[in-house]
Amino acid sequence: MASYMFNAILILSGFILLAWIQVPKMINNKWWRDLALYGIIFILALYYSLTYTMHWPLIDPIKAVVVLMNGVYSILGYDVVE
């Protein structure tokens, strides 16, 4: 367990360093769309890095897309096949 925590601390420090370098430039240049996209990708990458390192169960992105698309299809009136 201690090695997992050490690896998690290394990952967190790497992500903090990346944010510390990239985010102030985006804020100073007022690149709000880039900052929003960077934030989403950053959070997803951090989540998957930590879940892989700590051996937590991963969320399957395909299942999330299927649930989302089934909802969209049912709103549009299409038959949803499970």
Q: Would 81 be classed as within a structural domain?
A: no
**What tokens appear for 66 in the block?**
């299927």
pLDDT of residue 38: 94
Report the alpha-carbon angle 49-62-7, nearest 5.
10
Parent domain of 63: 2-76
- Looking at the structure of the chain, the number of domains it has is 1
Does this model's pTM top 0.85? My answer is no
pLDDT 10s per residue in the chain (82 long)?
A: 678 888 889 999 999 999 999 999 999 999 999 999 999 999 999 998 999 888 888 888 888 888 888 888 888 888 776 6
Q: Would 82 be classed as within a structural domain?
A: no
**What tokens appear for 7 in the block?**
């690896």
The string of DSSP codes covering 13-82 is HHHHHHHHHHHHHHHHTT-HHHHHHHHHHHHHHHHHHHHHHHTPPPP-HHHHHHHHHHHHHHHHTPPPP-
